[in-house]
Chain A
Amino acid sequence: MAALAFLCAALWLLGVSSPQSGAQGDLVQRGRALYEDGCSSCHGLDARGIAGRAPSLRGVGEQAADFYLSTGRMPLDRPGAQPVRGEPAYPPDEIRALVAFVGSFGGPRIPVADPARGNIAEGRELFTENCAGCHQVVGEGGMVTRASVPDLKQATPRQVAEAVRLGPYLMPPFSARQLDQGQLDSVARYVQYTKEPEDRGGWGIGHLGPIPEGMVAWLLGLVALVLTIRLIGERTTE
């Protein structure tokens, strides 16, 4: 009798001491179902990847899964294509489930970046030194040979942190020793800023520099002036 009571108490205690495990377990199960549906054809039913098609997801962690899914980069249309940002294929709760599932194999957790704690001047400097070569100095994106580089206009601070630590697709990763938490906060703050930089000169025309500027000079400035001289001058010889 006492042993039974002890057993019940122990079981109850086990249930109380890990209250998430039940809910978490459900999430992982849900994630597994979604995974088998939408991801296993490339990443394998056991998430160990399929050679030549997709990498193993064991050990990539919640960090990678959340980044790729929340930015809509996964699932890919076809293996080998460059993952590009798009509408996420899953609603947020399903993403959480998939993330939990992938995370259940271990790996880095979702990193945090808090723009409010960052220093924008430090962020600008770090971004210019490490990111501007590919992403353009105010995050308008661009090109590297054989790949396009996305703009950062829709990147949330969490996604910035994930990308920085992960180094998705062709992007290099930055470890916590290279960019510590404070620096990451600053970079995230700067990226937030670049979504609406200080355009005190007027219409920003894409923050790309001379290409849109030249188009404005010709298509607005010169066209206006040519129309003016057509008004002032004669159009025939009469």
Chain B
Amino acid sequence: MIPRPHPTDDAVRFVDDRLGASKAVKKALRYVFPDHWSFMLGEIALYCFAVLVATGIFLALFYSPSDSDVIYRGVYEPLRGAEVSESFGSVVNLSFDVPAGLLIRQTHHWAADVFVAAIVLHLLRVFFTAAFRKPRDVNYFVGVTMLGLALVEGFLGYSLVDDLLSGMGLVIAYSVLMSVPLIGAQAAVLVWGDAWPGSPELWPRMFIVHVLVIPLILGGLIATHLTMIMRHHHTQFRGPRRTEHNVVGTPLWPAYALRSLGLAAAVVAVLVLLGGLVQINPIWEWGPYHTADATNGAQPDWYLGWLIGGLRLVFGYEPVVFGYTLVPNPFWGGVAFPLVVFGILYAWPWLDRRRERDQAHHQLLDLPRDNPRRTALGAALFAWVAIVFFVGALDRIYFLLGVPYEGQIWFWRFGIFVVPVLVYFVVRRVTTELSVGRARVLRGWYGQTVRRAPGGGFEVLTPPDGAAPSVPAPEGPKGVTDTELGRVINALTATLNDQRPERLDVDRLQSLVTDSLGGEEKLAVVPDLNGAQVLDTRGERLADIRFAGGAWTVERAVPARDELPASPREPTRGEKARARARGAWRKLRP
């Protein structure tokens, strides 16, 4: 029977005819994405980057990278006659005179803020679910590098405008670079081309780095990041059918592609709505930057707030030896602090491997509660950074709530060391409680053993010494674990779905299924095409797997040892409290 022609047939034929890409296309279309929502945080960042590039191209066509003085003669009255740089003037003109200019400028700036925020959320997800473990640690390094580059790129972007706020930030960056011990002054003069305010070439160079150099690097890193994800396949949470050796999810075509495109459109929508409705960086209100000018309340964009906190917090001391200033003050908050944080981030996969003594590959993710120590350490590190971030805005707290500024600074000079330690212990406790309650319910159960009475109802079995009876661990062969059964079923399904009935070969199926058990002390026997039996090496039957009525059923002849209930344990404090609360609620309910 000739298949009916379909409008997409031509496209498919075109691709195959000219590119011979059918095999690659097939692999791509059938690529499987686990579809937990938290896996899409990186995609948000990706689409923000796309918006940044698109809007950035538009902006670059109007911006003029030059610090030559011009007299502003545009439409905004309060600036008329002011001496401004060409850079500043070009951006004000873009905001006032170019149709949709301000919309695109603001969309670009919102996209930058949301871009870094999405990367941070994505990093938190990757950290707390341990997705950075082998083999993905190299991809994790790529990601952390992209975060660092995003911070620099954003800073350069808003500094190019040369307004009062960003100009203050730029001189601080100059001072931070100068604060590098021994070589700081030379480095700063090298980068700026001269002492502050630097040479005129600084501005075209900043421009080129912002629109060409870093975007190219970022683009390359993004491509590397995505390629590695495709090679490793995306991780997945534990669940039915999910093993360390497979990926369960939605194929790219058609469902996932449409959903991802939908997310892309949603990202554009949110950014454009913000760009049109919420004002950001109104540089005409700030005015141009001059060395002798400053405004109260100047702040860097949010993702550098942790650095202003660091700079404000450090006590005003500089070690001096024979008249040489060894460590200028901005070094601690502006250089040492971010280096330490990024150093920990980069070193984390190695630290985690050592801590866990775990060198294996991982495809399945941990939930944060599955590893209380890691989650607590991550929470403590995050708390440290978050506190310093918060310290950067204490003057606002003073202005709004009246809490004295100096007092707050002194408090947090010690608080940044104390609070993360507290956070560590609190989070570790909480996650331990959560994990005990959820995983392996029957392992270490507590409660009562009951037996159904012949006439209905049940009788409670109490052992002579008053403790609840335990079910003894069985002797004999070790049973089949869930994981192994999963693998067998996968192998069976794969082959059975794949083969046309006349080509099915029971022998091959049997070797396949045995292979899937990893060649351990068990082997599989496939009597017919409707199932398999798992035997141990002595020939004892351990489990029976049958396919009937559209579903797989498993019958274990011997229970898996690691799934047996052990002797009961004392309920934890949390469990006791919850039981009390439940009891109280029941009494209250009518």
Contacts and interface: CB of A to CB of B under 8 A. Distances in A.
A213 B405 contact: no
A105 interface: no
B301 A140 contact: no
Contacts of A200: 95-96, 102, 279
Contacts of A203: 277-279
Contacts of B294: 132-133
Contacts of A222: 44, 114, 117-118, 121
Given A145-B406, A148-B399, A226 B36 contact: no
Contacts of B236: 237
B277 to A, nearest CB: 5
Contact of B113 (A204, A214, A229, A235): A214
A216 B278 contact: yes
Interface in B262-303: 262-263, 266-267, 270-271, 274, 276-282, 284-287, 292-303
B38 interface: yes
B259 A232 contact: yes
Nearest to B265: A228
A201 B405 CA distance: 33
B297 A213 contact: no
A197 B285 contact: yes
A202 B286 CA distance: 16
A134 B285 CA distance: 16
Contacts, number: 199
B281 A209 contact: yes
A229 B40 contact: yes
A47 interface: no
Q: What interface size band does chain B fall in?
A: 35 or more
A220 interface: yes
Given A134-B296, A218-B117, A225 B266 contact: yes
Nearest to B259: A232
A230 B299 CA distance: 33
A148 B398 contact: yes
Interface in B96-124: 96, 102, 106, 110, 113-114, 117-118, 121
Contacts of A213: 113, 280-281, 301-302
B78 interface: yes
A213 B37 CA distance: 26
A85 to B, nearest CB: 13
A37 to B, nearest CB: 29
B350 interface: no
Nearest to B396: A211
A143 interface: yes
B277 A214 contact: no
B38 A120 contact: no
A202 B270 contact: no
Given A146-B406, A225-B118, A202 B296 contact: no
A122 to B, nearest CB: 8
Given A148-B399, A200-B95, A232-B259, A226 B296 contact: no
Given A143-B395, A200-B96, A136 B297 contact: yes
A132 B302 contact: no
B221 interface: no
B301 A210 contact: yes
B285 A120 contact: no
B425 interface: no
A165 interface: no
A199 B279 contact: yes
B39 interface: yes
A214 B301 contact: yes
Nearest to A215: B302
Interface in B222-273: 236-240, 242, 259, 262-263, 266-267, 270-271
Nearest to B242: A237
Contacts of B299: 208-211
B164 A128 contact: yes
A121 B113 contact: no
A223 B1 CA distance: 53
B77 A120 contact: yes
Contact of B76 (A135, A137, A198, A202): A198
Residue with the highest number of chain A CB atoms closer than 10 Å, among B263, B282, B293, B395: B282
Given A198-B284, A229-B40, A133 B295 contact: yes
A112 B369 CA distance: 68
B305 interface: yes
A201 B398 contact: no
Interface string A183-211: 00000001001000111111111011111
Contacts of A225: 44, 114, 118, 266-267, 270
B78 A220 contact: no
Contacts of A224: 270
Interface stretch (B79-87, B336-344, B478-486, B507-515): B79-87
Nearest to B41: A229
B517 interface: no
B393 interface: yes
B370 interface: no
B165 interface: yes
A75 B276 CA distance: 46
Nearest to B81: A121
B536 interface: no
Given A141-B399, A200-B96, A220 B295 contact: no
Contact of B110 (A128, A140, A208, A217): A217
Interface in A103-124: 120-121, 123-124
Contact of B398 (A143, A193, A210, A229): A143
A202 B262 contact: no
Contacts of B352: none
A133 B298 CA distance: 10
A93 interface: no
A236 B44 CA distance: 20
A143 B37 contact: no
B35 interface: yes
Contacts of A237: 36, 236-240, 242
B296 A120 contact: no
Contact of B405 (A132, A143, A214, A234): A143
A142 B395 contact: yes
Contacts of B285: 137-138, 197-198, 207
22 contacts: A120-B78, A124-B79, A124-B287, A129-B293, A132-B295, A148-B402, A149-B296, A200-B279, A204-B279, A209-B286, A210-B300, A211-B299, A213-B280, A213-B281, A218-B117, A221-B113, A221-B117, A225-B118, A233-B37, A234-B35, A235-B37, A237-B239
Interface of A: 120-121, 123-125, 128-129, 132-138, 140-146, 148-149, 190, 193, 197-205, 207-211, 213-214, 216-218, 220-222, 224-226, 228-230, 232-238
Given A143-B405, A214-B302, A225-B44, 13 more contacts: A136-B296, A143-B395, A146-B404, A200-B96, A200-B102, A201-B278, A202-B276, A213-B301, A217-B274, A221-B270, A226-B121, A228-B263, A229-B41
Interface of B: 35-41, 43-44, 76-82, 95-96, 102, 106, 110, 113-114, 117-118, 121, 164-165, 236-240, 242, 259, 262-263, 266-267, 270-271, 274, 276-282, 284-287, 292-303, 305, 393, 395-396, 398-399, 402, 404-406
